[in-house]
Structure 1
Amino acid sequence: MSSNLPENIEWHAEARPIGYREALERMTARNRAIAEGEAREMVWLLEHPPVYTAGTSADGAELLDPRFEVVEAGRGGRYTYHGPGQRVGYIMLDLKDRGRDVRCFVHALEGWVIATLADIGVESWRSEGRIGIWTRDIDGREAKIGAIGVRVRRWVTMHGFSVNLAPDLSHFTGIVPCGIEEFGVTSLARLGIDLAPSAFDEALHARFADFLGTLAGKESCLP
């Protein structure tokens, strides 16, 4: 899936689940290597075994039932769940030549996920004051279908997004996802869409140039 990608960006999709701690170590090492000019930028798509991750703003009161391992992630945000049936995208890009604007990067990342979901038939959106990607659930209420959490070191990004394809939604009840109690969590499967991870990766790839264009200032980044 490397065609039409800039030569300096590696696109890699894992065929097997990767433990969160292992992924964090590999991502941290890659971040350092990119910052030092020793490795290419990277989009890394994968799945984790069940885990709760704590961002830098995590509140212990929101860890309701730690039935899975809890790992401090180092990214922004609060508690998040990762597990089978969820596609995680770790985006390691050098922002030194892309405006050095973290808010723009997060906005562009959200837009990339929203556009990808639209292409597979799911309308989604940002919601003022609520982190993440939101859609209309089967009961008509808003629900979260994707999470966003990033960290930037030496102007190289880490972490990224997760999108719920077909996870066990009961696993989210062990935490208050991203600190938001009033709204639920949904998935493509719950919305009646059966989509393989590889198909979702293809949809992401088709929108990647638009995402890079936003970072390059070819499109409006922030409203």
Structure 2
Amino acid sequence: MQNKKVQFIDWGLVDYQEAWDRQEEIFAKTLAIKHDNRVNDTSLETPNYLIFTEHPHVYTLGKSGHMEYLLLDEEGLKAKNATFYKINRGGDITYHGPGQIVGYPILDLDNFFTDIHLYLRTLEEAIIQTLGEYGISAGRYPGYTGVWLDPDNEKARKICAMGVRASRWVTMHGFAFNVNADLTYFGNIVPCGIDDKDVTSMERELGYPVDLEEVKSKLKNNLAKLFLMELT
């Protein structure tokens, strides 16, 4: 039987390494339950988590990423008060920082649907619907993951980056949604390896800082609706 219950947790501002370690621990426990079910022919429920957080300034490079897309050396990172990690998600280089909603769904997709492409499109749709509630029209840029504004013309600009990892249909990592983020930090990388497109935020598009907690609430509800989650 599918377990649609999802525990929502807001970690607040957490160091990237600490958040990665916490994710890995939850991820490993879920995989262990699935392994035991398979080996012992049992049917223990696997848990699901939806985690929101923010990170201090940090750049992360996915396993298929290109190191040359980081335009800072070690001294440059120190000057920007930023850190850098090579990590085990898909995707290229991106930035995380305050004013950004970083979402880490750790879901057993056997509880929902076993389709990674649909999983990514559903995450994107939740962001698109949330932006729509603020009068911001968003969509998808052909050939790339994430959420974009004006994706069909030369003004295309990215407002949410995505990079996930999955094993035996259990997910980790997720998305980085620019709400009030300091966009100058994106000038130190080639974001997601795309060097001819801009990056934006809700604050830039609307012309004023947005209530981050309000956006979290709307986004959480849209994710629950689209995935048919029972948030706890």
Indicate whether the TM-score tops 0.5: yes
2:171 aligns with 157
Structure 1 segments unaligned to the other structure (5+ residues): 1-5, 216-223
1:219 aligns with none
Q: Which residue of the other structure, out of 12, 17, 20, is the alignment partner of 2:9? A: 12
CA deviations 1:90-110 (Å, max 9, x no partner) are 001101233321111111111
**Identity of aligned pairs, percent?**
35
1:60 aligns with 67
Alignment of 1:171-182 (within 5 A): 171-182=185-196
The one-letter code of the counterpart of 1:90 is Y
1:220 aligns with none
Q: Which residue of the other structure, out of 196, 204, 211, is the alignment partner of 2:211? A: 196
TM-score by length of 2: 0.82
In 2, the alpha carbon distance for the partners of 1:193 and 1:83 equals 18
Q: Would you say the 8 A contact 2:163–2:173 is kept in 1? A: yes
Q: Would you say the 8 A contact 1:31–1:153 is kept in 2? A: no
In 1, the alpha carbon distance for the partners of 2:208 and 2:158 equals 16
Q: Would you say the 8 A contact 2:157–2:199 is kept in 1? A: yes
In 2, the alpha carbon distance for the partners of 1:35 and 1:9 equals 16
Alignment of 1:50-129 (within 5 A): 50-66=57-73, 67=77, 68-129=82-143
Larger Rg: 2
In 2, the alpha carbon distance for the partners of 1:81 and 1:129 equals 21
Secondary structure class of the residue paired with 2:24: helix
CA root-mean-square deviation? 2.0
Q: Residue 209 of structure 1: CA displacement?
A: 3.0
**Number of equivalences:** 206
Q: Which residue of the other structure, out of 137, 147, 150, is the alignment partner of 1:133? A: 147
In 2, the alpha carbon distance for the partners of 1:111 and 1:185 equals 19
Q: Residue 196 of structure 1: CA displacement?
A: 2.0
More moved, 167-176 vs 92-101: 92-101
The one-letter code of the counterpart of 2:53 is L
Q: Residue 188 of structure 1: CA displacement?
A: 0.9
Are 2:49 and 1:35 aligned?
no
Q: Residue 210 of structure 1: CA displacement?
A: 2.7
Q: Would you say the 8 A contact 1:30–1:39 is kept in 2? A: no
Q: Residue 40 of structure 1: CA displacement?
A: 2.5
CA deviations 1:97-134 (Å, max 9, x no partner) are 33321111111111111111111221111010233211
CA deviations 1:59-109 (Å, max 9, x no partner) are 112111242321012100000000111110000110123332111111111
1:168 aligns with 182
1:3 aligns with none
- The structure carrying a bigger helix percent of its residues is 2
CA deviations 1:171-190 (Å, max 9, x no partner) are 01111000001111111111
Secondary structure class of the residue paired with 2:204: coil
The one-letter code of the counterpart of 2:197 is F
In 2, the alpha carbon distance for the partners of 1:58 and 1:185 equals 18
More moved, 113-122 vs 169-178: 113-122
Structure 2 segments unaligned to the other structure (5+ residues): 34-44
Secondary structure class of the residue paired with 2:202: coil
TM-score by length of 1: 0.86
Secondary structure class of the residue paired with 1:122: coil
